[in-house]
C-alpha cells in the first residue's frame, strides 16, 4: 500500500471543476499525478481550468455541458471517455447553483433552477457515469453542503436539493456496492474566497460573523477540500462508502444554523435590488 497520496495514471473527472472548490479538487489530483478532465457550462472557464491543470503537469481535458440537460451530459461523458481511453477511476460531481432568497421571494423558475442543477444534475451525472466507471475500484464523490442537514433561512432551495444529493449518495452506495464502486459525499463548510461564500456573506462584516462561528476559528480553503477528496478516494479509504463527511472546521456541530439566521436578519435590513 502507498504511504502517501499518489494517483499517478488514475483518471479523474470533476464535473463543475472549472472554478472554486471543485477546481481546487481537480488541481489536487493533478498534483498527485492523475489525468484530469473537467466540465462546466462556460467554454472560457473550461479552457482556463485546463490550462491551469496542464501547468501543474497533468494530462488534462475539458468539455462543456449543462448538468440540467441529460443528453449534453451523456455526450460529455463519451468525450471524456475517449480522452482517457480507459475507465474513470474517480468521479467528483460538484456543479451547483445558489443565491440567497426566501421561499416567498422566489419564482417557480428560481426554485427549479437550483433543484435542477444540484439534484437533477447529480442524477444525470451519476446515471451517465456508471458505464464508464472502473469496476471494481471506482470512487465517486458528490459535493454536498451543510444545508443538506441544517435548515438555513434564505436557503430552502439549496437545503432541499443538497439533502436529495446526500440521499442519492447513500442509495448508490448500496446499489453500486456489488460492482465495487464506492459513493460518498463531502460536505464543505464555509470555504474562503469562493463564489458560494461571496454570495452567502457578501460584506466583510458577514464574512467575519461566519468565521467567528466556526469552532476551528477560520474559514476553510479549497486545499482542505482537495485533501479530503484525496483521502476518501485513496486506497486508505477502501472500506468507506455511503459516508456523508463534513469538512467544515466543526461548523455543522454548532454555529452554522445560528449564524445563517443572523445573516438572514442582517440581509432583511439591507437595501433591496
Residues 155-194 touching ligand HXC, rule: CB under 6 A, are 158, 190
Nine-digit cell string for 92: 467528483
CB 87 → ligand NAP: shortest distance, Å? 22
Q: Which stretch binds ligand HXC (CB under 6 A): 32-40, 99-107, 174-182, 221-229?
A: 99-107
Residues 132-151 touching ligand HXC, rule: CB under 6 A, are 145-146
Among ligand HXC, ligand NAP, none, the one that 113 touches (CB under a kind-dependent 5 to 8 A) is ligand HXC
Site map (CB under 6 A) of ligand HXC, residues 195-224, x = contact: xxx-xx------------------------
Residues 6+ apart with CB under 8 A from 240: 182, 184, 232
Site map (CB under 6 A) of ligand HXC, residues 40-79, x = contact: ----------------------------------------
CA distance 35 to 62: 11
Indicate the residue among 94 and 255 with the shorter CB distance to ligand NAP.
Answer: 94
Indicate the residue among 68 and 182 with the shorter CB distance to ligand HXC.
Answer: 68
Question: Which residue is listed with cell 476553510?
Answer: 220
Per DSSP, helices labelled H in 18-84 are 20-31, 43-55, 70-84
CA distance 11 to 217: 35
Q: How many CA atoms lie within 13 A of 222 on its CB side?
A: 18
Out of 67, 201, 206, 247, which residue is the one contacting ligand NAP (CB under 6 A)? 67
Among ligand HXC, ligand NAP, none, the one that 164 touches (CB under a kind-dependent 5 to 8 A) is none
Q: Does 41 bind ligand NAP (CB under 6 A)?
A: yes
Out of 58, 114, 140, 143, which residue is the one contacting ligand NAP (CB under 6 A)? 143
Out of 62, 94, 230, 246, which residue is the one contacting ligand NAP (CB under 6 A)? 94
Q: 148, 114, 123, 155: which is closest to 15 by C-alpha? A: 123
Residues 6+ apart with CB under 8 A from 151: 159, 257
CA distance 142 to 156: 19
CA distance 242 to 28: 23
Nine-digit cell string for 187: 460536505
Among ligand NAP, ligand HXC, none, the one that 263 touches (CB under a kind-dependent 5 to 8 A) is none
- 233 burial level (CB within 10 Å; 0-12, 13-18, 19+): buried
CB 134 → ligand HXC: shortest distance, Å? 28
Identify any residues that bridge with 182 across adjacent strands, giving them in sequence order.
139
Q: Does 4 bind ligand HXC (CB under 6 A)?
A: no
DSSP string spanning 99-121? ----GGG--HHHHHHHHIIIIIH
Let me know the angle formed at the C-alpha of 156 by 38 and 188, rounded to the nearest 5 degrees.
Answer: 40
Residues near ligand HXC, by CB under 6 A: 96-99, 101, 105-107, 109-110, 113-114, 145-146, 158, 190, 195-197, 199-200
Residues near ligand NAP, by CB under 6 A: 16, 18-22, 40-42, 45, 66-68, 94-97, 117, 143, 145, 188, 190-191, 194-197
Amino acid at each position: 500500500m502507498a504511504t502517501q497520496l499518489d494517483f499517478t495514471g488514475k483518471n479523474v473527472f470533476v464535473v463543475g471543476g472549472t472554478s472554486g472548490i471543485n477546481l481546487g479538487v481537480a488541481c489536487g489530483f493533478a498534483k498527485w499525478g492523475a489525468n484530469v478532465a473537467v466540465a462546466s457550462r462556460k467554454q472560457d472557464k473550461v479552457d482556463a481550468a485546463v490550462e491551469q491543470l496542464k501547468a501543474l503537469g497533468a494530462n488534462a481535458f475539458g468539455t462543456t455541458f449543462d448538468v440540467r440537460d441529460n443528453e449534453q451530459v451523456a455526450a460529455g461523458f463519451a468525450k471524456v471517455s475517449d480522452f482517457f481511453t480507459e475507465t474513470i477511476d474517480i468521479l467528483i460531481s460538484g456543479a451547483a447553483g445558489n443565491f440567497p432568497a426566501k421561499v416567498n421571494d422566489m419564482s417557480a423558475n428560481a426554485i427549479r433552477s437550483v433543484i435542477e442543477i444540484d439534484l437533477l444534475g447529480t442524477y444525470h451525472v451519476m446515471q451517465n457515469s456508471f458505464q464508464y466507471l472502473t469496476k471494481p475500484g471506482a470512487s465517486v464523490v458528490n459535493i454536498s453542503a451543510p444545508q443538506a442537514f441544517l435548515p438555513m433561512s434564505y436557503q430552502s432551495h439549496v437545503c432541499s436539493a443538497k439533502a436529495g444529493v446526500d440521499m442519492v449518495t447513500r442509495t448508490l452506495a448500496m446499489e453500486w456496492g456489488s460492482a465495487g464502486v464506492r459513493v460518498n459525499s463531502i460536505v464543505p463548510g464555509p470555504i474562503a474566497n469562493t463564489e458560494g461564500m461571496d454570495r452567502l456573506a457578501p460584506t466583510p462584516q458577514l464574512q467575519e460573523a461566519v468565521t467567528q462561528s466556526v469552532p476551528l476559528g477560520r474559514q476553510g480553503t479549497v486545499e482542505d477540500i482537495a485533501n479530503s477528496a484525496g483521502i476518501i478516494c485513496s486506497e486508505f479509504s477502501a472500506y468507506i462508502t455511503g459516508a456523508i463527511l463534513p469538512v467544515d472546521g466543526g461548523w455543522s456541530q454548532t454555529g452554522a444554523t445560528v449564524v445563517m439566521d443572523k445573516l438572514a436578519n442582517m440581509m432583511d435590513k439591507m437595501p433591496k435590488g
